[in-house]
Structure 1
Amino acid sequence: MLLSELVATSRAVTATPSRTAKVEQLAATLRRAAAEQPGRVDTVVTYLSGSLPQRRTGVSWRSLVGLPAPAEQATLTVADVDAAAEQLALASGSGSAAARTRLVQQLFSRATADEQAWLRAVFVGEARQGAADGIMLQAIATAAAVPDGAVRRAVMLAGRTGPVAVAALTGGTVALDAIGLEVGRPLRPMLAAAAPDVATALATLGREVALEAKLDGIRLQAHLDDGAVGLFTRTLENVTNRLPEVVDLVRRLPVRRAVLDGEVIALGGDGRPLPFQVTGARTASSADPERMRAEVPLTVRFFDLLHVDGVDLVDRPLEERWARLAAAAPAGQLVARVTTDDLAKAQGFFAEVVAAGHEGVVVKDLHRPYAAGRRSPGWVKVKPRHTLDLVVLAVEWGSGRRRGWLSNIHLGARDADTGGLVMLGKTFKGMTDEMLRWQTARFRRLAVGDPDASRVVRLRPEQVVEVAFDGVQRSPRYPGGLALRFARVLRYRDDKPVDQVDTIQSLRQLLS
């Protein structure tokens, strides 16, 4: 299949605001891919979602400066691009930079002007064409003439969209139904909706609930299979080799096979959580894990069990999953928890958790199954303040005492309907001198073009930031028609991908 067909589809999807039109255009291309090269459907779906199967290739914006003149005829195929991306991802060691430069030049010399623009965006993670996850799943269902629900469930269990598209387009519902939970293969984690306070969360769920401490750590999915352990983050990154103490702990569980959901966190000697950056740096580092284990030991707290000794539990109610978890893991490895329908007791537990230095609570419906891969009304998180995870779209050079530092950041939310990013304000509050130094270096690397050429520096939308705010107000000043009141930076988050930042739709609900 020619790359030009995907580029044309991507441009068409970007150009239309209609969700129905997006789905139809994507579905038509998927059907063609399945008819011509069924073995390439996985790659086609990934490309149409604006990313690469290889995820990291070592190609940056600076390496895409001085590209060769574009080709006049479209000859590049999807297979050609995938092979080049694989070579780029594998390049390492002495001479790898020169090798990448040569591979980039070879690939781009064969691309037309439109293909070069698309390749540039997808290689550096800036391809925002409106094919959001929900739209792509609907397009797969439409192309294969199968129920949306069957596709969503299969993606939940498979973790990735591409293999599910292959199954749907080549085997229909029967093939989708055959996709199940596999120990050792990460599935998409269940996510929580948000509420401003405990009373609202209890009213939303409407009956006896579980309240669990929300730790300020890294989400971790642990797989145990006869002594073999796999550890995965919320983005499904394999971090097994970085966390030897967690591997040892999981191996000691009194079960043979299991899939557990939890949080890993660095605690101080007093049992209080260390700053999030400590946990984040530890889980991100692959250098000398045993030394890091001694210097920054990690603690794990489990809160769900999705499989145990041959029994899948994702469709079982939380009440049963928790009972089985309590039997499979020592009490000291479980998250703090109470069950109640009493508001005073719930608020008391919330206050205790916050006083202990944790983020807040997650209020959970005891009767709900595990709804992986999406925000479910069965889980509602409550923090002691309004917070959002947003993406930094641009940054401004500071003045006065902040002169020489990149300071005022432009904040963007995700549009759940289009998959695009919508600006909704700026802030420079909450930034320490240490944070300013860090973000100046970080945003120089993310700059689109020369960061010293203008006061406002546009960025590749890759850095997620958590901000606190006092409220939402209408504002014609920003594209989303909304602005945050008294927004201030809490922390930068490297553990969360841009496609999981908060949506402009959720902000509109706060306004109403």
Structure 2
Amino acid sequence: MLLAELVETTEAVGATRSRLQKRAALAALLRRLPEDEVVPAVGILLGRLRQGRIGVGWRGWQTASAPPAAESTLSLAELDDAFDRLAALGGPGSAAERTALLRELTGRATEAEQRFLGGVLLGEVRTGALEGVLLDAVAEAAELPLAEVRRAAMLSGELGETARLALHGAPGALAEVGLVVGRPVLPMLAATAATAGEAIAGTGEASVEFKLDGARIQVHRSGDEVRVFTRSLAEITERVPEVVQAALALPVRDVILDGETLALDEHDAPRPFQETMSRFGAESARETLLRPWFFDVLHVDGRDLIDEPLAVRRAELRRVAGELTIPGEVTADPEAAERVSRAALAAGHEGVVVKAIESPYAAGRRGASWVKVKPVYTYDLVVLGAEWGYGRRTGLLSNLHLGALDPEGEFGEPGGLVMVGKTFKGLTDALLAWQTERFPELEQHRTAQAVFIRPELVVEIAIDGVQRSSRYPGGVALRFARVKRYRDDKRLEEADTIQTLRALLPPAG
């Protein structure tokens, strides 16, 4: 199949809000794919290449991009082979080889294909709910029950392989996919609520557990072998020896555990999130140690627990993990849930997760059984510019650059602005269209990627907090920023300050 067919499908999916139309377009594409192209095609659609990270950054992509081809000739098989070759590069001379390969690849791609590939390789494919729609599309294309496809995907952790089995496997192949120690499964996800009391009103009796400000991990142990996976199912066993040691000390032979890991200070209080992530992503050992905490168990010594109610899983977890079990309390009382929430925040954690006590582990799904509760802050910030979008946002100014006021000039000129982050989340179609029309009227300068404007527009931004950052001059970056609304009623001088945002930082050290 030509890459152009996949690109045309993504454009059609991005151009409609109808889930049925999205599903139909994707199902039609899946039916046309040869068996050996199903896995790479699904990975490309989701922006998660079969080869993993292949070492292409923004600068390398810009340097190596050739003039676009006039017509489509690049096939998915050729593209997948090029990704294999890029992933295998390393050592002296590899940069030049990578540039040559990219130039060859981009020279075969049309302008639309180049835009799409740039988004895929630079991690800027914003698929949103596409994974869920793809599951629906696989079921439709293969004429199989959605529940059967969904379960196979969650237990294998591989939507691409699930699609291949569904479309080209023997009858019953999906039903044979089971939980395997050592093979990661898609993590269960949580909905959100404003308060713990509100959450428990929806779940009934629940386990109200601390929500740690750490990195999610899935730990598999089979005898003396331990494997540790991230939220995205990437293996990081070699990076977290302390987690491996903790797993080996548990009184079991085989186990699959779901949890988080975070760095603690000398008083056993959580260190800032970015310190955990810095240590979490290190290729070599560092001084900062990670402490694992577990909140669920999916398998113990030959017994699958994924379909058991949480009450059963929590009892088994306490037996297996002991003091490594995340703190929590089972209750149906909203006030008790609020008390646990206050205790979690007082201990320096994010909030709580409220989990229906009778719920099974619904891997890969975000339902009403798990509900996370954490504080949300809103601030009025200044738009400094916006980047051109990808996918269905191609041709629209999307990703906002945000600045905070610096009245005293602590980080620059008095009364100036200090950049604190970017966001494309929360922007409606109407806002995207308005930005694209309005921003050029305020333009100061532009690059191929962005338009930078006079600092006149104030926008209300919701964040989950801030973190220390050396990327921005104010030493602080927004966490999970999303647009609430533009504040036409506010002037630049009324925007929030960098000092206000820095006050949210936990004490250093």
TM bracket, shorter-chain basis:
0.7 to 0.9
Match in the other structure for 2:16: 16
Match in the other structure for 1:116: 114
Among 276, 288, 292, which residue is 1:296 paired with?
Answer: 288
Match in the other structure for 1:454: none
Match in the other structure for 2:40: 43
User: Could you report, residue by residue, the CA deviation over 1:381-426 in whole angstroms, capped at 9, with x for unpaired residues?
Assistant: 22244689xx992315777635587616453327999xx9999945
Which amino acid in the other structure matches residue 471 of structure 2? W
Match in the other structure for 2:342: 351
Match in the other structure for 2:236: 239
User: Could you report, residue by residue, the CA deviation over 1:455-479 in whole angstroms, capped at 9, with x for unpaired residues?
Assistant: xxxxxxxx983359xxx976698xx
Tell me how far apart the structure 2 counterparts of residues 109 and 385 of structure 1 sit (CA, whole Å): 46
TM-score (norm 1): 0.78
User: Could you report, residue by residue, the CA deviation over 1:237-289 in whole angstroms, capped at 9, with x for unpaired residues?
Assistant: 211111111111111211111100111111122221111122111111112x2
Q: 1:474 to 1:143 in 2, by over 3 A?
A: same
**Do residues 156 (structure 1) and 154 (structure 2) align?**
yes
Q: 1:230 to 1:434 in 2, by over 3 A?
A: closer
Match in the other structure for 1:248: 245
Tell me how far apart the structure 2 counterparts of residues 244 and 382 of structure 1 sit (CA, whole Å): 31
Task: State how 1:161-176 maps to structure 2 within 5 Å.
Answer: 161-171=159-169, 174-176=172-174
Match in the other structure for 1:146: 144
TM-score (norm 2): 0.78
User: Could you report, residue by residue, the CA deviation over 1:160-213 in whole angstroms, capped at 9, with x for unpaired residues?
Assistant: 21001001111377222111111111111111212111211121112x221111
Task: State how 1:299-378 maps to structure 2 within 5 Å.
Answer: 299-329=291-321, 331-378=322-369
Tell me how far apart the structure 1 counterparts of residues 423 and 62 of structure 2 sit (CA, whole Å): 27
**Do residues 218 (structure 1) and 215 (structure 2) align?**
yes
Q: 1:421 to 1:252 in 2, by over 3 A?
A: farther
Tell me how far apart the structure 2 counterparts of residues 382 and 64 of structure 1 sit (CA, whole Å): 40
Asked whether the 8 Å contact 1:305–1:325 carries over to 2, the reply is: yes
**Per-residue deviation at 1:431?**
9.7
Q: Which stretch shifts more, 340-349 or 142-151? A: 340-349
Tell me how far apart the structure 1 counterparts of residues 474 and 7 of structure 2 sit (CA, whole Å): 33
Q: Which stretch shifts more, 320-329 or 396-405? A: 396-405
Tell me how far apart the structure 1 counterparts of residues 463 and 180 of structure 2 sit (CA, whole Å): 45
Q: 1:251 to 1:348 in 2, by over 3 A?
A: same
Among 422, 427, 439, which residue is 2:472 paired with?
Answer: 439
Secondary structure of 2:173 counterpart: helix
Which amino acid in the other structure matches residue 30 of structure 1? L
Q: 1:425 to 1:213 in 2, by over 3 A?
A: same
Match in the other structure for 1:190: 188
Secondary structure of 1:20 counterpart: helix
Secondary structure of 1:394 counterpart: strand
Asked whether the 8 Å contact 1:387–1:466 carries over to 2, the reply is: no
Match in the other structure for 1:64: 61
Q: 1:425 to 1:46 in 2, by over 3 A?
A: farther
Secondary structure of 2:480 counterpart: strand
Match in the other structure for 2:383: none
User: Could you report, residue by residue, the CA deviation over 1:333-387 in whole angstroms, capped at 9, with x for unpaired residues?
Assistant: 1111211223333332222222222222211111000011122211112224468
Asked whether the 8 Å contact 1:408–1:428 carries over to 2, the reply is: no
Asked whether the 8 Å contact 2:425–2:481 carries over to 1, the reply is: no
Secondary structure of 1:65 counterpart: helix
Tell me how far apart the structure 1 counterparts of residues 27 and 473 of structure 2 sit (CA, whole Å): 42
Which amino acid in the other structure matches residue 298 of structure 2? L
Asked whether the 8 Å contact 1:3–1:78 carries over to 2, the reply is: yes
Tell me how far apart the structure 2 counterparts of residues 101 and 5 of structure 1 sit (CA, whole Å): 26
Tell me how far apart the structure 1 counterparts of residues 138 and 230 of structure 2 sit (CA, whole Å): 26
Q: 1:416 to 1:381 in 2, by over 3 A?
A: farther
**Per-residue deviation at 1:53?**
2.1
Which amino acid in the other structure matches residue 149 of structure 1? A
Among 480, 484, 489, which residue is 1:466 paired with?
Answer: 480
Task: State how 1:421-440 maps to structure 2 within 5 Å.
Answer: 425=459, 427=461, 435=469, 437-439=470-472
**Do residues 53 (structure 1) and 58 (structure 2) align?**
no
Asked whether the 8 Å contact 1:11–1:129 carries over to 2, the reply is: no
Asked whether the 8 Å contact 2:465–2:478 carries over to 1, the reply is: no
Among 71, 74, 77, which residue is 1:76 paired with?
Answer: 74
Tell me how far apart the structure 2 counterparts of residues 76 and 146 of structure 1 sit (CA, whole Å): 32
Secondary structure of 2:160 counterpart: helix
Which amino acid in the other structure matches residue 303 of structure 2? V
Tell me how far apart the structure 2 counterparts of residues 464 and 180 of structure 1 sit (CA, whole Å): 40
Q: 1:27 to 1:101 in 2, by over 3 A?
A: same
**Per-residue deviation at 1:314?**
0.7
Which amino acid in the other structure matches residue 234 of structure 2? E
Secondary structure of 2:292 counterpart: strand
User: Could you report, residue by residue, the CA deviation over 1:122-157 in whole angstroms, capped at 9, with x for unpaired residues?
Assistant: 222233477711111111111111122222222111
Tell me how far apart the structure 2 counterparts of residues 357 and 19 of structure 1 sit (CA, whole Å): 40
Q: 1:428 to 1:338 in 2, by over 3 A?
A: closer
Match in the other structure for 2:26: 26
Secondary structure of 1:323 counterpart: helix
Moved over 4 A (4+): 128-131, 384-388, 396-400, 402-406, 414-417, 420-434, 440-443, 472-477, 485-491
Which amino acid in the other structure matches residue 147 of structure 1? P
Match in the other structure for 1:178: 176
Match in the other structure for 1:407: 419
Which amino acid in the other structure matches residue 234 of structure 1? R
Which amino acid in the other structure matches residue 480 of structure 2? E
How many residue pairs match? The answer is: 448
Which amino acid in the other structure matches residue 176 of structure 1? L
Tell me how far apart the structure 2 counterparts of residues 132 and 10 of structure 1 sit (CA, whole Å): 10
Q: Which stretch shifts more, 375-384 or 49-58? A: 49-58
Q: 1:115 to 1:466 in 2, by over 3 A?
A: closer
